[in-house]
Every structure is written in C-alpha cells, then in structure tokens.
Structure 1
Amino acid sequence: MSKLITVFGATGNQGGSVIRTILADPELSKEFRVRAVTRDLSKPKAKALAEKGVELIKGDMSSQEDVTKAVDGAHAVYLVTNFWESMSAKPEILQGKVVTDACKAAGVKHLIFSSLINAANATQGRLVNITHFDGKAEVEEYIRERGIPASFVMPGIFMSELFSFIRKQEDGSFMMAIPVSPGTIAPFIDASVDTGNFVRAALRHPPTEKANVIYAASDYYSFEQIAADFEAVIGTPLKVVPVPGDMFKGFLAASLPPDMVDEIYENLVMLEDPGYYAGADLSQSLELLSEKPVSVREFFEKNRKYWG
C-alpha cells in the first residue's frame, strides 16, 4: 500500500511544485499518495488538484485541530510557511510549531521543511531585520529540538523576483539597481518548477541519524552574469547599477512599508557578506537531483515575451 504525504501550501509556488513532481514521477507516484492542504477548496488550483486524484483537505496551519487532521496517518509531510502574507515572522513561527507538534504526535517519519539560515546569527548581529530568514530558522531549530526525522530544503532567491528587479527604461533598455557590487553572487531557483525537484531528492534520501540540509538553487549567479544571460536571450542590454544604500531604500519605500524596506535591503546586503547561504557549497545538493534544474538563462528563454 502506498504511503501518504501531506503537502501544506498546496496551491502555492513551492507546494504546487512538490505535488506536480510527485504525480509525474513514475516511482514516487506509486510510493506516495498525496493529501493537499489548502484554506480554500474552491480555488481553481485546488479543483485542478482534485481532478488529478489528489486528496484535498481544508486547513489553517494556525489551527491545531486542522493540522492534526491534516497529518493524521502521514508518513511524510512537506511544510512551507508564508511570511509574505502577513509580513511578520510571528504567524509563520506559530504555524511551523503547530505543524511540528502535530507531526511529532502523529509519528510522522519524515518532515520536510522549507527553511532558511539564521541571518542574525550568520552576521553576528549586524543584520537583524531579515525576519523571513530568521523566523524559518527558529522553526527549523524547533523541529530539531523535537527530534522529528527531518530534511531542510533551503530555496534560493526565486527567479520570478527578476520580474520586479529588472526595469525597462524609457529608451527601451533595461536596468537593475542593487545596493551591492555587480560581481556579488546569489543562488537562484525557479521555485514553481524546481522546488519539487529538490524535495524529490529529500524523499529519495531520507534522514538517518542527522537531519538533511539541501540547498535548493540551480547555481550561484553574479548580477553581471545575470545581465549577460539577459542580453544573450532578450537581445537588449541590461545595465546593473550599484546604488548607495539610502538611495536603494528610497526606491523600496515608494511601494513597501518601512519594516519591509529594511528587510529587503538587508537581505541583499547579506549577499556580499556572509552570503545567502553563508558560503555553503551547492555541489552535494545538486548531485542528489535526478533532473537538471532550470538555469537563469533558461528562465529568461521561458519568459522571453515578458521582456521582449
């Protein structure tokens, strides 16, 4: 009999990718049946999952009762929390702990959590406003303390962020303003495609005595390389412009609340020192994959019409 995997955030970028990957994989689709957790069963994406034979369950991750039902009988659980919905770490920490406690009580054999490093610790307290990192790191620490067999899949910067990073100018050229040097490197992932690719690796390499940490990015890319790939695919130059921190914050303040201005600014500053993953090598994580992840150049090719 197949084992059950419960997937939270089933209609989002990451959870949706996990479900699509499992259903499309000849081995995993036999090994696992999928239970998708969503707050709104009437969403078109939820209905589309039901049409594919996925079990749907309505659930709020802040509700102990809902979460207990969602993980009942599950062998594995995929957990992703949503900082950006509330723009606060408190709700996602609460949700992460509620799901963790339910998994512990249900005897879940493998909890896969979409985590990130503790930025405040990694910078020795220099950058303390990257709460969408630190909140997830707190949940990860809690999972470790509870002793649940776990894998921590750490996604890089979503390639979809390039839609907002890259701005078209009046003369038809493109510009990307950043508060770091153009040679700064960052890990990128096409989350809607490759989250499932990395989670599949976690399912095929379950944790033994130590939790697994998987860095989910196709590669490290400098902003200079991103610009070169953009021009090669789109055919129009992309100028990378390093700007002073105060000026960059001013750009952000036009559309974001003050807390988020510091959040995004410090997140980018962290890329220079100590780095998004604090210098971690991606090679071991990439070796676990059964399919090559999408590169930034391939992402541009796939979305050529957006910038064309």
Structure 2
Amino acid sequence: MILPPSMSYSTAPAKLIVIIGITGNQGSSVASTFLSDPRWKIRGLTRNPDSAASKALSEKGVQMVVADLHDPVSLKDVFNGANLIFSVTDFWTPYLDPVNQAKATEQGKSIGRFAYELEREQGRNIADAVARVVEGLDEVGFVASTLSHAGKCSKGKYKELWHFDAKADVFPGYVEEKYPELARKSSWLQTGYFFSSWRILDCWLGRMPDGSRQMRFPTSPSTIVPHLDARKDTGPFVKALLLLPAGKTVMAASEWCTWPDWIKTWGEVVGVPDCSYKQVTVGDLDKWYPGGIGKEIGEMYEYSNDPGYDGGEPEVLRTADLKKMGIEVRATSLRDYVRSEDWSGVLAAC
C-alpha cells in the first residue's frame, strides 16, 4: 500500500488483521510480519488465552480473543472491524488425537476421513463467519492457507488424500459456491513441504545399519518440490498476495529442490558425508507407519510426481512468477534453515 504524501505511518489509522491459528507455525509467522508494520494492528484467535504463546503475543500488543473453530457461536463477532483475515485450519491435531481415532472406529470410518470432516467443518465455520463482515474487508481481505484438490487434480486417482481435499473443498470450493462476494475478495496461499517435518517421521533422516543416513519417499528423485520455513516465511508470502489482485493463488515456498538435494544439503551442513535418497512405494510407508498415516503421507509424496504438489494447476504462482512481477519475497534458504536447527538429537539417535 502506498500512502499519500500527506500521511505517514504514525498518523494513518491502523488497519486490523485477524489471524486464525496465531500461535501455530503459519499464524505466528503472519503475526511476526504484521507486528513489524505500524500500518496494522492485530487480533489473534486462540482456544487458550492463558498459554505461554498467547501471553507472549498479548505482551507485544496483539489483542487475543478466545474462539473455537468447531463452535460457530464463538466466531460470531471475532471478525468485526477486520480489514484482512488470515485463515488456517488443522488436520493433523484431530488426526493424531486418540479420542478421535476411537470415535472414527466407532463410526466405521478411517481416521483420515474423520479428520477430513473435522477440518472441513473448521473451514466452513470460518467462511460462514467471515462472510458476515465481507463489506468491511479490503480488496484482498481474506487469505486462506490451503492446498490443491488431489481428487480433482489427479482425475480421481487420489480419492483419499484427506489433508489436501479437506482444505481445497472449502478454500476455494465452499467459498466460491456459497459466498461469491467473499470469493471476490479472497486469495489463496498453498504451502509447500514444511522444513520442520523431519520431526515427525524417521524416513526423513533415517539411520541405516551401516551408520549412513537415507531419506525414503515415494517421490521421484528428479521431481522438484516446494519447501517452506512456515514459522518464518508464511507472513512474507501473505504480504505478497496483498500486492496482487484478489483471486490469485500463490505457492509459499522458501526453496524449490529435489529430495536428493534436500538430504545432500543437510549432510553438508551437519557434517554427515554419507547421505542418500531412495524412492520407495506408498505400500512401504503404509507398512512402516500403519494405521493410515503411512498411506496418507505416502500418497502425498507420490502425488508430487504427477500431477504435482500444486496439482499441476498453471494458475498457481510460484516464487519465480512473483519475481517477474517485481515482487521479491525474502525467504529462508534450506541451508540457512538447517544451520538454525539443533540436530544433536537426530545425530545421536541409533
């Protein structure tokens, strides 16, 4: 936004951004980015205002408001006065919850399907609430974190890539179908593989019997995929979307590289010379991580081959596309990310 000469950051009335999931990976990055911009004030939504993260944000001047994405009543007034709203929904917390796993079994559903329904409910509740304040939103007034629709983009090959379709069925699906006025003020942020995902599965940096390290995924070794430092770089990509007309989709990627390049870079930085990459099957991951998570994750890696992590959709803007438009996003390189982490636990693991 360019201010008229008669105005300054100190005298212009601050706009309001409301951040859903402000204490999480993506939301905290958005908060950090907008806290450094005096043109904005921030309201954050949280289920627990007494958490350390919530209190730390309050001390920085963020207005923290209690809200539950599964309770539409709690969302009724939280977006009042907003110029911009950032939305993120959660699949993996419900997925990994033993209570939900038991409920899924009782209902005769896979935990993937059950978590899909819960995340879709979150998204629809957000959209319903945001639609009530659409008139007060900026031209780009709603930015939702989402992913490509695996079912549609793969022409039905991937029918159960739940954590992709739960997001895409709402953002943009439900919004465009039910709230066309809101859709006209919405933009979409697809997020690449999180740099930090190595914390979840040991097939990222697995120690082999001979002491070497091997990364094992169903992605082809020649496939270039997007990677994101979610805690640092989500916010700058949201800012980039504000420089574009509404309705655009941007892939938030700190770096694009193959998985062999990822593990090679990691090895160079941490001093592990013997690192390799091996392409495995979805069945392998399903065997290594039973109960559904191996299949869910495995199909994501396989989907990255064809049609591609972004669904092969040509309208999804990449970092290079933004650069051609004169929009430079300062993002964290993989090498710098690796340097910033403490790998002592990984290196000590047998």
TM-score, normalised by the number of residues in structure 1: 0.90
* Match of residue 302, structure 1, among 340, 343, 349: 340
2:294 pairs, out of 261, 285, 301, with 261
Question: Matches of 1:220 and 1:78 in 2, distance apart?
Answer: 24
TM-aligned CA deviation for residue 74 of structure 1: 0.8
Pick closer, same or farther for the CA change 1:65–1:206 going to 2, 3 Å: farther
User: Deviation at 1:64?
Assistant: 1.9
1:180 to partner: Cα distance? 3.2
Q: What SS does structure 1 have at the residue aligned with 2:250? A: strand
In the alignment, the residues of structure 2 paired with residue 150 and residue 251 of structure 1 have an alpha-carbon distance, to the nearest angstrom, of: 40
Is 2:225 the partner of 1:194? no
Structure 1 residue 293 corresponds to structure 2 residue 323: no
AA matched with 1:21: T
Shift of residue 228, structure 1, vs aligned partner: 2.1
Aligned position for 2:121: 94
Measured after TM superposition, the shift of residue 186 of structure 1 is 1.5
Question: What TM-score, normalized by structure 2, do the two folds share?
Answer: 0.80
**3-state SS of 1:96 partner:** helix
Q: Between the two proteins, what is the percent identity of the paired residues?
A: 29
Inter-CA distance 290–180: structure 2 relative to 1 (3 Å threshold): closer
Counterpart AA for 2:24: G
Where 1:135 maps in the other structure, the secondary structure is: helix
Equivalent pair of 1:190/1:294 in contact (CA under 8 Å): yes
| Residue 154 of structure 1, CA deviation | 0.5
Report the number of matched residues: 297
Q: Which residue of 2 aligns with 1:156?
A: 192
Pick closer, same or farther for the CA change 1:119–1:244 going to 2, 3 Å.
closer
Identify which of 37, 47, 50 aligns with 1:42: 50
- 2:261 aligns with 225
Give 1:237-248 correspondences, 5 Å limit. Answer: 237-248=274-285
The secondary structure found in structure 2 opposite 1:188 is strand
Equivalent residue number for residue 119 of structure 1: 150
Q: CA separation in 1, counterparts of 2:217 and 2:118?
A: 30
- Amino acid in the other structure paired with 1:239: S
Q: CA RMSD in A?
A: 1.9
Equivalent position SS for 2:256: strand
Per-residue displacement from partner, 1:114-152 (whole Å, max 9, x unpaired)? 011100111111111111111111111122231211010
Aligned to 1:57: 65
Distance in 2 of aligned mates of 1:144 and 1:7: 21
1:270 match = 303
Task: Please give the secondary structure, in 2, of the residue aligned with 1:66.
Answer: helix
- Inter-partner Cα distance in structure 2 for 1:179 and 1:166: 15
Partners of 1:105 and 1:252 in 2: how far apart?
43
- Which sections of structure 2, spanning at least 5 residues, go unmatched? 1-12, 96-114
Deviation per CA, 1:142-181: give whole Å up to 9, x if none.
2223121101010001011134311234544211112233
> Kindly tell me: are residues 202 and 8 of structure 1, through their superposed partners in 2, closer, same or farther at Cα, counting changes over 3 Å?
same
Q: Does 1:249 align with 2:268?
A: no
Large movers: runs of 4+ above 6 Å: none
Distance 2:126 2:281 in 1: 41
> What is the CA–CA distance in structure 2 between the aligned matches of 1:58 and 1:244, rounded to whole Å?
43
2:25 alignment partner, one of 1, 5, 13 = 13
C-alpha displacement at 1:53, in angstroms?
0.6
SS in 2 for 1:151: strand
Return the index of the structure with the highest Cα Rg. Answer: 2
Task: Give the Cα–Cα distance (whole angstroms) in 1 for the partners of residues 51 and 323 of structure 2.
Answer: 34
- Where does residue 251 of structure 2 map in the other structure? 215
Deviation sequence 1:211-236 (CA, Å, 0-9, x none): 12111012321112112212221221
Instruction: For 1:11, give the aligned amino acid.
Output: T
Q: State the Cα deviation string for residues 254-284 of structure 1 (Å, max 9, x = none).
A: xxx22x2321111111011111013356222
Q: Which has the higher contact order (CA 8 A, sep 6+)?
A: 1
Report the equivalent of 1:2: 14
Query: Match of 2:220, SS?
Result: coil
